[in-house]
Structures are given as C-alpha cells and as structure tokens.
Amino acid sequence: MLDRYFFVVRVGKAEDSWEHKVTGKGEDAGLIFKCFWLDEDEFDKLPEYYKPFLGPEYISSFF
C-alpha cells in the first residue's frame, strides 16, 4: 500500500525541493522521500489520480 500526503502551508523562503530520510526502527527506516512545493497555479501539472485529493473535501482550509 502506498500512502500519499498533501499539505497546505504558507511559507516564506524555502527550498524548492528536498529529501527526507526516515529515521528510527520502523519498517520505513532508511527510506528517502523526495519532497517539493507546488504553487496553486501548478496543480494542473499533477497526474489526474492526485487531483481528487486536492479538493475542498480533503483540504477545506485552502478553499
């Protein structure tokens, strides 16, 4: 199973992308996640299967 997480935050200055390496002793320890920001006008660049998760029912604070 693959979990995806979307966050809506307002940031000042931030890197465009970064990697996060999971620490600890769980089954995901050592995994590296590649993260990046999208501006709201870039949502149309996402694959169609992500778009349902970017609607008001999932992130109402954005709308």
The model's pLDDT over 14-62, given as tens digits with 9 standing for 90+, comes to: 898 999 999 999 999 999 999 888 887 888 888 888 888 878 887 787 7
The whole-number pLDDT of residue 1 equals: 62
The whole-number pLDDT of residue 29 equals: 95
Give the Å distances, CA to CA, from 37 to 4, 13, 28, 30, 42. Answer: 14, 12, 23, 22, 10
The whole-number pLDDT of residue 57 equals: 85
Task: Count each helix (H run) and each strand (E run) in the chain, helices first.
Answer: 0, 2
Q: Which of 37, 43, 45, 49 is nearest to 2 (CA)?
A: 49
Q: Which of 45, 39, 35 is nearest to 62 (CA)?
A: 39
pTM above 0.75?
Answer: no
The whole-number pLDDT of residue 21 equals: 96
CA 39 to the chain's CA centroid = 12
